[in-house]
Structure 1
Amino acid sequence: MRGYDIVLLCNTPEGEFLKDQILAHAPKLRIGHATDLRGLEKLSGQLAPHSRLIAFCTAVIVPDRIIQSFGGNCYNFHPAPPEYPGYRPSGFALYRGEHSYGVTAHRLIRQVDAGEIVAVQRFAIEPEWNNYELAVAAYSVVIDLFRALIPQLATTDRLLPATGDSWGDHTFTRQEYLAMKTIRTPLPQTELEARCRCFDGVFCPVP
């Protein structure tokens, strides 16, 4: 059996949708779909020559050995702009009062959200948005960006050209996100409201 030309790494709901989008441009491609690292490891042993990995809005960290099995021809769609790499950074963008946001497509390398950037698409943040609403908007835009890059991703195995954009200096972590949600001492009302709006609510640990 012929190996996989493209492997998708994404959640289950996106898998069939993204596959259909790719096959509409290149119906002869053989496409695999993994939702977790175990599934990705299995598929990475069944690759066609010049295969490509496409990660889409996933929290799975791809090990370097798997990136190398694709010859480095691996891309990730990150639902945040280059200034905000890392874990769920939309809340921090709101908290800092940003007026615009965006999404990024980049090559996968060993370090998270650090590979060469190949596309960025930006949009305005509406003043009344909370973190959930910003995340939904970013998700919609990252789908648009995926569609825009499909002709290149589906019909050529060449590496996509870099845009010259640079990543932000700080990669946000899950620990930082949870720290903003966790209220251990009394806060001014305005700060409490800002934390709730930007970080999907807060919780107060029992002493």
Structure 2
Amino acid sequence: MTGGSGANAGRRLVAFCTGVVVPADALAALPGPAYNFHPGPPTYPGSWAAGFALYDGTTRFGATLHVMEEKVDEGAIVEVDWFDFPADARLRYDELEVMAYQRCVGLFRKYAPHLASDDAPLPLSGERWSGVKRTKAEATIMREPPRDATEDEIRRRFRAFGC
């Protein structure tokens, strides 16, 4: 890569399915945008996207490539690889997570040549983040069903969060 100036000239940060939050000063020090491959669609920003999607009973999921910003999962979206799964599918969290990870790998294969050799920013799709941003702490709470939880609620949480 060419362009930029100083110690970070020609450098680009690419995050892949990580829970690491990159500090704003580190992002600002880069000569161009940093990108994240998020194992979830824009309707499920934040942590445990697959778990919250299963808990909500959705049948549409995906993986998102987006620009990294100071706040997690708020950057402009490059592409979303959506997929559907049957409502009666008894997928568990880890299975849906693997499906999303595979979609992230596909997005990486598609964009890696550009990311490795071209300073130009990736084109943006115009799609927007729309869901509630979830945290690891919220997922931890979901792993602890209340004492008065119904059997259905316990099963739902177990499927989505492995509690």
Q: Distance in 1 between matches of 2:63 and 2:12?
A: 21
**Cross-structure match for 2:130:** 168
1:72/1:108 contact within 8 Å kept: no
Q: Percent identity?
A: 38
1:131/1:198 contact within 8 Å kept: yes
Query: Cα–Cα, structure 1 residues 169 and 140, in superposed 2: closer, same or farther, change >3 Å?
Result: closer
Deviations 1:110-141 (A, max 9, x none): 01000010111011224121111100111111
2:24/2:70 contact within 8 Å kept: yes
**Cross-structure match for 1:80:** 40
Which residue identity lines up with residue 38 of structure 2 in the other structure?
A: H
Which one has the bigger strand percentage?
Answer: 1
SS of residue in 1 equivalent to 2:73: coil
Q: Is 1:140 equivalent to 2:96 in the alignment?
A: no
Q: Is 1:107 equivalent to 2:67 in the alignment?
A: yes
Query: Cα–Cα, structure 1 residues 104 and 178, in superposed 2: closer, same or farther, change >3 Å?
Result: same
Q: Distance in 2 between matches of 1:82 and 1:130?
A: 20
Q: CA deviation at 1:73?
A: 1.9
Which residue identity lines up with residue 97 of structure 2 in the other structure?
A: A
1:51/1:73 contact within 8 Å kept: no
Q: Distance in 2 between matches of 1:86 and 1:181?
A: 17
SS of residue in 1 equivalent to 2:13: strand
Which residue identity lines up with residue 52 of structure 2 in the other structure?
A: F
**Cross-structure match for 1:14:** none
- TM-score w.r.t. structure 2 length? 0.90
Task: Could you tell me which runs of 5 or more consecutive residues in structure 1 were left unpaired when the two chains were aligned.
Answer: 6-28, 30-44, 203-207
Q: Distance in 1 between matches of 2:82 and 2:138?
A: 24
Task: Could you tell me which runs of 5 or more consecutive residues in structure 2 were left unpaired when the two chains were aligned.
Answer: none
Q: CA deviation at 1:59?
A: 0.8
Which residue identity lines up with residue 90 of structure 2 in the other structure?
A: E
Deviations 1:19-67 (A, max 9, x none): xxxxxxxxxx9xxxxxxxxxxxxxxx953x2321101111110011110
- Which is higher, the Rg of structure 1 or of structure 2? 1
Q: Distance in 1 between matches of 2:134 and 2:140?
A: 11
Q: CA deviation at 1:151?
A: 2.4
Q: CA deviation at 1:142?
A: 0.6
- Spell out structure 1 runs of 4+ moving beyond 3 A: none
Q: Distance in 2 between matches of 1:101 and 1:163?
A: 17
Q: Is 1:53 equivalent to 2:13 in the alignment?
A: yes
- TM-score w.r.t. structure 1 length? 0.72
How many residues end up aligned between the 2 structures?
158
Which residue identity lines up with residue 113 of structure 1 in the other structure?
A: D
RMSD of aligned residue pairs (Cα, Å): 1.7
**Cross-structure match for 1:187:** 149
Which residue identity lines up with residue 82 of structure 1 in the other structure?
A: P
